[in-house]
Amino acid sequence: MERRDFLKKTSITVGALYAAGHLPLLAANSKKNPRKKKIGSLNIFTDPPAIEPITGELDKFTPAQEGTMRSAFAASYALLYWRNAKHGKATGDERGGIDVQMRDDLLQTTEKRQGNTVKTHIKGNRELGAAYTWTLESMFDGPDSRFVEDGSWDGRKMTVASASWKQERDTKHPLIHRWMLLPRIASGSIKKAPLKFDMLDNSTLIPDQELRYEGQVSVPVQGGTAELDSYLQTGRAIQPIHYLVDRDGRVQLITSSIVNWVLRDLQ
Amino acid sequence: MKNPPNIVFIHVDQMHWEAMSAYGNPYLKTPGMDRIAADGTSFRASYAAMPQCCPARTSWYTGRASCEHGAAGNGYKLSNGIPDLGQWIGKHSDYECVYAGKWHILGRDLAKSFQQICGSARGELGDAPIARACMGFIENYKGDRPFFLNAGFMNPHDCCYSAGAAGGVGKYALAESMEDELPPLPKNFVPKVPKRYAEKTKDWKEIHWRYYMYTYYRWVEMADAEVGRLYDAVMNSRFADNTVVIFTSDHGDGLGFHGNTSKGYMEEEAWRVPLIMVEKGKIPAGRVDNEHLTIGYDLTATILDYAQVPSMPKMTLAKSIRPLAEGDSVDDWREYIVGESFFAEGEVGVRDARHKTIFYCDGQVKVFDLKADPLEMNNLMDSPEIGPSVMAKHKAHLKEYLGKVELCEEGSVAKGEAVDAYNTYLKFYRNMMSEE
């Protein structure tokens, strides 16, 4: 079955299940979770912060119900752009997306935004999330815009080279590609201990990151409420990023500030 | 005549002049910008022509002050008769003029002035593609003509939206749980809310200001990651030995100083900008110039100087920084600069080696001694033995300056703002010009 057909059928199936009220993830009157954490007068995990950049999208959002990111998977995320806030809800639109495929120790991504398509192939260690070697191809629609970079990480230094340049960056922590975080988060291992790492975002080094489990979030979605685990990433060169994950290991929502990701398909 | 160098003009948006680890700021790490500073000369007394996006950028690309080019604020168009750098260099030289990213010069079609290789968006969305577009250009350029490559990064301007919020406190709610990671407030923070941007900050507690600073520094680091990628690509390419790199910001950000966020006023946090120039073997590496006062339209003269192209018409104020950058002795550098802001009301700043005077359109005047009081906490107009004499000297400077500019008589409003506002602006200037 072609992937596109599969996704289409999966979507129809989920829609039918939803209509019949058979989606276990959705609980219209979920009980309060004891792990919710109060800070000051705000519950930072259930009040808007973790989801606030995408609140305008959530009433149209149906969490994916099939697949898991704990084993091989192919996921598609929409890039939701935060534009403004009106009437107490975020407004924005879809400005691109990413396809992520993970199999064994190989991650492949195709990201589109701002007229730029970036394809990456990363070989690493699935369990650790570490990226050892990778290739990045960047293209625009215009002529003479393409370049290819080969990257590698030897445990202490990452090196990136194209036909024209070579760049080296020292690393202090394991180098983990940002989309290789998905299986790591899905595994639940970060619930036991925070993860300290340097993040590879395409070929850009984003150093000194920490990802930790923060508790559960009740997220209002189409037709009810989804109870999702919330993980918070903080560090240099990012705005705080929340990963919202269901109990079957699907990273459903990723929120930062201007750029946010919504899981559209998973197989 | 030697072959002119390639010119790479990298600009960011709304970067506080000290938001760089190379300058000793402990609250962020900017390895990319630090490499630029290490390779080149930093001009630490650099200022925006007007500390708002559209006017400042229009000055970069026209060599004229805001009162001359018509872009008196965000929302105003560049006057039709004034050429921009892309048009002018394209007409008078063999340069390949290329542009990626933020332009924000209203009334001028970027694609008609430059070869546009990437559009712009808020920084978190668009800055990485801008870097990649420029890197793609560097990788593929096979021409034998020199190039003038412009990279307009948007961040840290995303600080204007950093709540990402929908009416609530947004991720600012994280502030309390991250308190030990938040930078302290600046020493000149005042717990009053200024008129500007009051809606955004009026309910902020101290911790929210500190969280704003925290996220602001992260936005700078985000820009830095892409600036560093592009800079390294240029400096590790075959073009490195014949390329001058200019790095700056259109204006600064309040960053809590004086209780300010954003821009549009003449205090140092908004008016002053970072500026670094690099050229291998010609511009001294790792040098800091704290002495020479430079202002946005000087970059026009500098770029034209490198491109070996004559000045554009009526550039009466702009001076090429190239001789300073290359370490030449320059005896007749300017004694003062004049900047302006028009944000529903007018302000003019006059700065010399030591003092600054801010003239407000309501008649208020503030004078600061920037050597003794770099945070501008003591208005010397309260001390009769110093303030009035500095003000009188700066008024004379202002008068000389006003004698050199040609006011743009027609405010061409691109969107939103009333023409009346431009007339207020003209009136403000005419009043100053007619003052004895």
In SS3 terms, chain A reads as: CCHHHHHHHHHHHHHHHHHCCCCCCECCCCCCCCCCCCECCECCCCCHHHCHHHHHHHCCCCCCCCCCCCCCEEEEEEEEEEEEEECCEEEEEEEEEEEEEEECCEEEEEEEECCEEEEEEEEEECCCCEEEEEEEEEEECCCCCCEEEEEEECCCEEEEECCCCEEEEECCCCEEEHHHHHHHHHCCHHHCCCEEEEEEECCEEEEEEEEEEEEEEEEEECCEEEEEEEEEEEECCCCCEEEEECCCCCEEEEECCCEEEEEEEEC
Do the bridges between strand B41-43 and strand B287-289 make them parallel or antiparallel, or are there none, so unpaired?
A: parallel
Q: A14 pLDDT exceeds 60?
A: no
Pairing of strands B147-152, B96-101: parallel
- B368 sits in which H/E element: strand B365-369
Amino acid type, B249: S
Query: pLDDT of A218-247, one tens digit each?
Result: 898 998 999 999 999 999 999 999 999 999
Which pair of tokens denotes residue A53? 């950049």
d(CA B358, CA B351): 9
Say if residues A138 and A157 touch (Cβ distance below 8 Å): no
Residue B88 structure tokens: 């002018």
The stretch B404-423 carries a mean pLDDT of 70
B222 in reach of chain A (CB within 8 A): yes
pLDDT tens across B85-100, in order?
Answer: 999 999 999 999 999 9
Whose structure tokens read 């070996």?
B308
Q: Which amino acid is at B63?
A: G
> What structural domains and CATH numbers belong to chain B?
6-329 (3.40.720.10)
Closest CB to B136: pick one of A52, A140, A256: A140
Higher local confidence (pLDDT), B222 or B77: B222
All residues of chain B having their beta carbon less than 8 Å from the beta carbon of residue A240 are 171, 174
| Nearest CA distance, A13 vs chain B (angstrom) | 32
Out of B31, B171, B215, closest to residue A49 by CB: B171
Q: Do the chains contact at B161 and A257, CB–CB below 8 Å?
A: yes
pLDDT value at position A91? 85
- Give the range among A14-23, A128-137, B347-356, B363-372 with minimum mean pLDDT: A14-23
Question: For residues B46 and B17, is the Cβ–Cβ distance under 8 A?
Answer: yes
- pLDDT value, residue A228: 94
Stated as kind and residue range, the H or E segment containing B248 is strand B243-249
The CB-based long-range contact list for A113-118 (8 Å cut-off, 24+ gap) reads A113/A79, A113/B125, A113/B126, A113/B129, A114/B118, A114/B119, A114/B121, A114/B125, A114/B126, A114/B129, A114/B130, A115/A140, A115/A141, A115/B118, A115/B119, A115/B129, A116/A140, A116/B118, A116/B128, A116/B129, A116/B132, A116/B133, A118/A202, A118/B132
Task: Give the model confidence (pLDDT) of B298-328 as tens digits.
Answer: 999 999 999 999 999 999 999 999 999 999 8
User: Identity (one letter) of the amino acid at B230?
Assistant: L
- Strand partners for A204: A201
Judging by beta carbons within 10 Å of its beta carbon (0-12, 13-18, 19+), is residue B308 exposed, middle or buried? middle
Q: Does the pLDDT value for residue B411 go beyond 70?
A: no
Residue B114 in contact with residue B107, Cβ under 8 Å? no
Distance, in Å, from the CA atom of B55 to the CA atom of B64, rounded to the nearest integer, reads: 10
A137 pLDDT above the threshold of 70: yes
Which chain B residue's Cα is nearest to A48? B170
Average pLDDT, chain A: 84
Span A114-132, average pLDDT: 92
Residue A77: CB atoms within 10 Å? 25
Two tokens at B432? 């100053």
Q: Which two tokens stand for residue B400?
A: 């000389």
**Within an 8 Å CB–CB cutoff, is residue A217 touching chain B?**
no
- For A177-224, the pLDDT digits (tens) are 999 999 999 999 999 999 999 999 999 999 999 999 999 888 989 989
Q: How confident is the model at residue B344 (pLDDT cuts 50, 70, 90)?
A: low
Give the closest-approach CA distance of A95 to chain B in angstroms.
9
Question: What pLDDT shows up at residue A10?
Answer: 35
Which runs of E-coded beta strand occur in B119-237?
Answer: 147-152
Query: Is residue B78 scored above 70 in pLDDT?
Result: yes
Cβ contact (<8 Å) for A138 and B137?
A: no
Cβ-defined contact of A239 to B165 (cutoff 8 Å): no
Contact B74, B322 (CB under 8 A): no
- Can you tell me the distance from the alpha carbon of A30 to that of A38, in angstroms, rounded to the nearest whole number? 18
B250 touches chain A (CB under 8 A): no
pLDDT score recorded for residue A36: 42
Report chain B's mean pLDDT, rounded to a whole number.
Answer: 92
Helix (H) / strand (E) element for B111: namely helix B110-113
| Region of poorest pLDDT, from A2-6, A50-54, A237-241, B432-436 | A2-6
The DSSP letter of residue B93 is S
What's the confidence (pLDDT) of residue A129?
A: 81
Among B330-334, B349-353, B417-421, the minimum mean pLDDT is found in: B417-421
Nearest by CB to residue B177, choosing from A44, A146, A163, is A44
Mutation target among B25, B116, B124 for the A interface, most CBs of A within 10 A: B124
Structure tokens at B355: 């003092």
CB-based contact (8 Å) between B111 and chain A? no
Smallest CA–CA distance, residue A12 to chain B, in Å, is 31
Residue B273 has pLDDT above 80, yes or no: yes
pTM for the structure as a whole:
0.92
pLDDT (tens digit per residue) in A31-79: 333 334 444 444 443 455 788 889 889 989 999 999 999 999 999 999 9
| Residue linked to tokens 């009053």 | B192
Q: Tens digit of pLDDT for each residue in A107-120?
A: 999 999 999 999 99
Residue of chain B whose alpha carbon sits nearest to that of A147: B136
Using 50, 70 and 90 to split pLDDT, how confident is the model at B433? confident
A170 touches B at CB < 8 Å: no
Which chain A residues touch B143 with a CB distance below 8 Å? none
The DSSP symbol for B161 reads G
Q: Which residues of B touch A114 (CB under 8 A)?
A: 118-119, 121, 125-126, 129-130
pLDDT category at A7 given cuts 50, 70, 90 is: very low
Chain A contact present for B119, CB below 8 A: yes
- What was the pLDDT predicted at B171? 81
Half-sphere exposure of A144 (CA within 13 A, CB side): 12
Residue pairs spanning A and B at CB distance below 8 A: 183
Query: Cα(A96)–Cα(A114) distance, rounded to whole angstroms?
Result: 8
**Contact (CB<8Å) A115/B166:** no
**CA of A232: which chain B residue's CA is closest?**
B174
